[in-house]
Structure 1
Amino acid sequence: MTEVLDDLLQNELKPLVRKIDADAFYPRDFLLKLGTKGFLSSNGLSEQEVLAREVNLVEQIAKVCMTTAFNLWCHLAALTYIRKSDNSYLKQELLPLLENGKLLGGTGLSNPMKYYAGLEPLHLSAERAEGGYIISGQLPSVSNLGESHWFGVIASVGKKQRIMAFVPCNTEGLKLKEKQEYLGLNGSATFACGFNDVFIPDHFVITDNADEYVEKIRPAFVFYQIPLGIGVTAASIVSIEKVCNKQGGCNQFLGIQNEELIEELAPLREQLYQLVHAEDLTRHWKELLQLRLNAVHLTSKAVHACMLHQGSAGYLHKSDPSRRLRESYFFVNLTPTVKHLAKMLQGGNQI
């Protein structure tokens, strides 16, 4: 499988990176091919085996293009929602399609994760109807969406109940407005989602108790993000190494050198892959949060160092170092953001 992935990265993703970054091209076919090539199948594998393979997949793709790796993270989050659900329809009918390259998924849980941390009100509300729920409200941004995509949402039913559902993008009453005004990652197929009395049948409902269910899915939600930073950091280290002898070797006088970055990356990566084998990630929640925060800080440090080592060559808009710089700022603001992480680490057990 390693050779297959290397071939996909070299021959099918690398030629698209500039187009993804500069022209907001969405790498849909590449993402689907990950499924058709068997990289997302959970059939016959333990949860730990699946997690190890998919975390490595995110890391390897992030070395080449973090936009594409982020899209994969969105899809993996959607897979997590269904894999841990008790809904037989979603697990039997939709999960195989999401794993074998027939369908793609998004998350839709940025606002709910902030809600559970006490940062925002919940933006979606639901009313019980015959055979399902009717959902209304607005989500400002959901990524990895398209005509045949699905995504998870959480909506409040009165004051005491929250439900979680899996929503098809082509459902009646759902309006998508594409957003491409970001500093980077505009190829991530990000949309504002307006719910105007959208009917969600019961067989699309992941759980009627989202408050409890979020605690089951949140470790993987965060876990799959960490290799985004690891991949970008590793790519920055390679980029720094390539220019170490330019201009008479004057980069040796810069404050941050590759040896320091390598020394900091190794234990962070080792800790991530050790946690892959944990029997219950929920018991390592605070450790995951700290690891995620450490990954943000190291990624920021690495991309800034790379810009300094590259000099004027890195200052070009379409250069790889400047792309990774913009990618790192997205990583800082990806839910849970740096502020969000700091609050959770210091303020109790909320997400």
Structure 2
Amino acid sequence: MTAEAAAVAERTRLGLADLPAAALPVIDEAGELARAVDREAADPWDTLRALGQHGLLSAPLPLQVELVHALARRCTATAFSLWGHRSGLEYHAVTGTPPPAGSETGTPALASGMAPAYKEEAGLGEIPLVATDQADGSLAVSGVLPWCSNLRPGSWIVLPVRWEDGRRAIVRVARDAAGVSVKPLVGLAALDGTSSGVLRLEQVAVAPHDVLTEDVPAFRDRARAAFLLIQSGMCPGLAGAALDAAEAAADPVARRVLGAEIEAGREDWETLREDLVRAVEEAADAADAAGPAVDAPGASRRQLVTVRLETALLAGRATRLEQKTVGGRGYALASDTSRRAREAAFLPVQSPTEIHLRHLLAPTGEAPRSPS
């Protein structure tokens, strides 16, 4: 086996968990559907519901990160939809709240509207959704989330709210509830299949049993690992597929001219795989030792942020390398090269954005391992 073939074989999995054999055809089919999903001619939720039949939508963190990595190698839009849904399940788990019926198998979908809570924690803005107490014990919530995904009919959205008196809470609202409206975001680079849109709430009633917690700082800490690590798992999946394609397309001249970049890509992928695996294992060990709703030592916040940033930057470098070696045929919108480049272009703006992540690391004096 050549060094190139060995590198490709190693990049097919993270080594966190073995995916069930019955799920492998579903994952492979996601790759076959990737171009159709990119054109909105196929629905990523067909894949997710099929995975749900194998219990994989609510799988433990190590298996979940392995799964999202496998999907991102084939279709990052499908992996991104899985991240949003699995995050929604995590929000229920860490607050001890039963999730909506059927969500563990993908019907209904769950959406993560948690970006404002983490931005507020970082001093980057205020939660835009305002709650007022009602006489019957419910809340009325109004405001706008400028971006949310998985906003499918029948879905549930988990999001933060604030009161004018300074209180905060995490609540869930039904996509189809009175007062909820969605302006679909269309024409997105590689993400039109993710049911993304602008979410507007106008005096939406939230019953007491739909308030997950009023301890938002503790909630953020308990949900942070899954929120960031499942996102991070997408990045080496996308990066690995791009590096595979780059090495396969490189002719002798490209190997001579770009040899240092190709080798750096191999080394960076393996280094970041080790960093990600270590963080996932530490987070999983902490959850096993203390339970998901109890604070416990695990991967540090700095470690989680660093892994998320570095893996996203690697995906950008890898897709640019693929474009160089594949050449003009990768410029066609229908090509896998173009799709991966557009998928990677989303990562700097996916919340937490690259600016948000760099902001969090700035007080430590740390800089990314390699430039973006």
TM-score (norm 2): 0.85
Which aligned pairs between 1:155-174 and structure 2 lie closer than 5 A? Answer: 155-174=161-180
Which aligned pairs between 1:48-59 and structure 2 lie closer than 5 A? Answer: 50-59=60-69
Gaps of 5+ in 1: 43-49
Could you tell me how far 1:323 is from its partner in structure 2?
0.9
Distance 2:171 2:79 in 1: 24
> 1:26 is matched by which residue type in structure 2?
D
Which aligned pairs between 1:82-231 and structure 2 lie closer than 5 A? Answer: 82-87=92-97, 90-91=98-99, 94=100, 97-129=102-134, 130-231=136-237
Distance 1:251 1:283 in 2: 38
Could you tell me how far 1:116 is from its partner in structure 2?
1.9
Gaps of 5+ in 2: 1-18, 287-295, 365-372
> 2:206 is matched by which residue type in structure 1?
I
The percent identity for this pair of structures is 28
Aligned equivalent of 1:344: 360
Give 3-state SS (helix, strand or coil) of 2:195's partner.
coil
Aligned equivalent of 2:84: 74
Distance 1:122 1:347 in 2: 23
Could you tell me how far 1:255 is from its partner in structure 2?
5.7
Distance 1:222 1:242 in 2: 31
Q: In the alignment, does 2:57 pair up with 1:40?
A: yes
Q: In the alignment, does 2:21 pair up with 1:3?
A: yes
Could you tell me how far 1:282 is from its partner in structure 2?
5.4
Contact 1:222 1:289 in 2 (8 A): yes
Q: In the alignment, does 2:306 pair up with 1:318?
A: no
Aligned residues: 333
Distance 1:257 1:86 in 2: 47
Contact 2:57 2:82 in 1 (8 A): no
**Residues 258 and 5 (structure 1), Cα distance of their counterparts in 2 relative to 1, 3 Å cut:** farther
For residues 185-204 of structure 1, the C-alpha deviation after alignment (integer angstroms, 9 at most, x for no partner) is 11111011110100000111
Give the stretch that moved more between structures: 164-173 or 275-284.
275-284
Distance 2:92 2:254 in 1: 53
Aligned equivalent of 1:29: 46
**Residues 281 and 187 (structure 1), Cα distance of their counterparts in 2 relative to 1, 3 Å cut:** farther
Give 3-state SS (helix, strand or coil) of 1:335's partner.
coil
Distance 1:181 1:250 in 2: 34
For residues 210-239 of structure 1, the C-alpha deviation after alignment (integer angstroms, 9 at most, x for no partner) is 233222212221111111111011101110
Could you tell me how far 1:25 is from its partner in structure 2?
4.5
Aligned equivalent of 1:45: none
Distance 1:97 1:281 in 2: 32
Could you tell me how far 1:117 is from its partner in structure 2?
1.4
Q: In the alignment, does 2:268 pair up with 1:258?
A: no
> 1:272 is matched by which residue type in structure 2?
L
Distance 2:141 2:58 in 1: 31
Which aligned pairs between 1:265-276 and structure 2 lie closer than 5 A? Answer: 265-276=269-280
**Residues 15 and 190 (structure 1), Cα distance of their counterparts in 2 relative to 1, 3 Å cut:** same
Distance 1:153 1:178 in 2: 18
Could you tell me how far 1:315 is from its partner in structure 2?
1.1
For residues 6-48 of structure 1, the C-alpha deviation after alignment (integer angstroms, 9 at most, x for no partner) is 20122x3223211211237432221111111221345xxxxxx
Give 3-state SS (helix, strand or coil) of 1:333's partner.
coil
- Root-mean-square deviation (CA), in Å? 1.8
For residues 237-259 of structure 1, the C-alpha deviation after alignment (integer angstroms, 9 at most, x for no partner) is 110122133xx544431265432
Distance 2:38 2:114 in 1: 24
For residues 278-320 of structure 1, the C-alpha deviation after alignment (integer angstroms, 9 at most, x for no partner) is 2146551101101111112111111101100101111111111
Contact 1:66 1:327 in 2 (8 A): yes
Could you tell me how far 1:277 is from its partner in structure 2?
2.2
Give 3-state SS (helix, strand or coil) of 2:145's partner.
strand
Contact 1:161 1:209 in 2 (8 A): no
